[in-house]
Structure 1
Amino acid sequence: MATAQAELEDPLCNLRLSITSGTTPILTTSADTPSAATTVSSLAHATHITFNAEVTFDFDGHHKTFALTEPTRMVVVDTTCDLRSVYFAWQNKDAETLEYINELTHLNEELPSGAGGSVQSIPAALRTELYKYLNGEAEVVDCIKPLEGAGLSIDAEKSAAIASGQFGGVALDKGGDSQKQLDGRLLVIYDGERKMGDHNTMLRGSRPVDFSTYRKTAQAFFKSRPTPLAAPSTTIVSSLQKKPSRRLEPIILLSPSASSLLRMSNIKTFLNDGTFVPPNATDSSSANLLHLTRTLPSISSAPLRFILVDSTQNFKPPYWARVVAIFTTGQVWQFKSYKFTDPVALFSHYPGVHVGWSGEEPPSQVQAWGRGVLSVRVDKWTGSSEGRWRDREVVESIWGRIEEGMRRGGWGRDGPGMAR
């Protein structure tokens, strides 16, 4: 049975067949037949990917090679993913979301300009669909466009064979007539149909959802429901009108770049204790969310609790009103998922902070962003935290900038006075 030419030339089909057959593709730096001189192990150094002729559609014995910059049928928010982004996602199929983002950041920083640009981030839900398609669990997924022309030659041969009586179609058992066969054209139509789920799959999706917490909340309301002709329950009314007792916590965003002097592993020591320690000199297994407290006299007499994160992966739109500072290294890719992707617009709404080494000028792009970004310098690390009294002065200037921005934003005891 001949394979459609469209499937033969499609990189996703070749990658899928390679994965289901258990054969690892070859990363190379050339479009020619792989050799010891052109084969590499790093995705950052490769420019092409080659699939073994024994497991691909090419039965003529030739290797199938594709450029890693070649677009695929994978679509993320109306943007076509290239082959490098898809293969990187498959390589990190077992990684958690934070680990996937960190690996993606490192790969983009390692890619030379000649390797074809940046690797695109694929959301977790779409990565799950992609994995099901690549490992053969699903033939059709929403995030991958159908292959034009694929399977038409195969369907034509099946239909011709059924019509000529070479082999039977699908037997029907209607009214005892077990010999009646489906027409070949109907088989082609059935193959193109999408299977619809029942009400359970539509409501719950592919994973079971525990609604027990909502049941407990509903039971509390039903128990306190008034009897007919009785006055409304004052308990329910008062609880609905009561303001939340917990005040909103301001958020500080850190740069996820590996070149940043301040990361999740050392930011708390710096802002809390006023001492700079390099990120690699501390515990590398840092959390993706931290808390610290600080008293800002012009905002509140009570200590404020701040949230520190280096990713907006789980950000909701209301969270942006609570952002009070954004640390940056000057790399624009940091702002791709932010509320404002343009740095000038971003730092006109939120105070920016750039931390560099003493004696070094800030990057030209940071200077071009204007007074919206505060540039500060710390003494270079000498291997010991002793004698770093200048760090406290730098930390106080940063907190002063944060307090000034919060005061202008109308922050009070319970949170921000206005949404940005």
Structure 2
Amino acid sequence: MAASTEHDPLLLLRQSISANKPAIPVSAPEPAAPAAPLAQATHLRFPHAADLVIPIAAPTRFVTSAEKGVNVRSIYFAWLNREVAIPEYNASAARLNGEIKEAGGSGEVRNLAFVERLDLITWLEGASEESEYITPLEGEKGEGAKGGVGALSGKVDPRLAAIYSHERRMGDRNSVLRGAKPTDFSHVRKLATVFVQRKPQHPASSSLGDPSAPSSRSAARRPDPIILLSPSASSLLRLANIRAFLEEGRFTPPEGPGTGASMLHVTRAMRDIDPSRPVRFILVEGPEQFKPEYWNRVVAVFTTGQAWQFKSYKWTAPPELFKHVLGVYVGWRGDKVPDTVVGWGHRIVTCAVDRWREGSGVEGARFRDKEVVEGIWKAIEANMRAKGWRKDAAPVRI
């Protein structure tokens, strides 16, 4: 599909979310059309953009391995179901497709893989400015995917023009850094050659047999590493409390208020891997929606010592699993580490946190939590470096 469009559906949806004016499914192309159930809708109306209406079956710039341009209905449906678990999301999609057929409509909702859905939701809510699945708008390289109002190109509806007239115009790098006249700095490359040493090659490039060839992955966006949590009810760390633990160094009971999500992400500065930006990690409790290549991105597995956790893993035998992936066990301070964990080998980091007591969550009462978290991150970072994670590349096999 063309990477440029007059009214880009992805940008419109992201802007409507930012403006807190949700898009509305309608059954007619008129701006005054009333709301309709998603199964009967033919268009999507955007109140934030002067009630602009776009077809719900239109393709978008969101590209997956299964489809080049995921349609608007599928994108909108994924956003509506952003906080539901993966099985419920899949079941809801199947129900909606059945309702579409019953209503005599055409098209269907495409199921997105869990990494694709997380990447989409993160971009739509504005938590990320880049996406490996969104094709940039024509002529804007990677910047068109960032969702700015000024990114819409072509002829603009007069009502939208009134809105866009209030946007702040940003200069490009020529006008900001060099003035109106572009400057040719190509001669600097020749002068710098003497001082710049060739960067060491990523292990993936050595397999080509040419150590002097540039890495084939150097220009690609590094995928997000994945951390798997234990789905066991006895686990001290679940999706409900893992973010506060890993990002803030603060343990709270998992039965407290959760995020309502089936997956989430945390960020961590890892300067030995990427000195310029924090690394974003995807956290999920199971690999049910994994594609085979996702296993190369798994950097840690949290476990309680129960082998049933691994029945759907690529490596179902714990000793074999922990030859490939770092294990993390977190228990109560003073309790004995389970014999199963000890028997699975030295590739499992064992940690202990203070028992939770009423009032122990106040400031300063859990000062040792941060020490435990730093130890976990140190082990994960060392394992990632050993596996080949770099600023612009991930391992092709673990």
Q: TM range, normalised to the smaller chain? A: 0.3 to 0.5
How does the TM-score come out when normalised to structure 2? 0.46
Which has the larger Rg?
1
TM-score when normalising by structure 1: 0.44
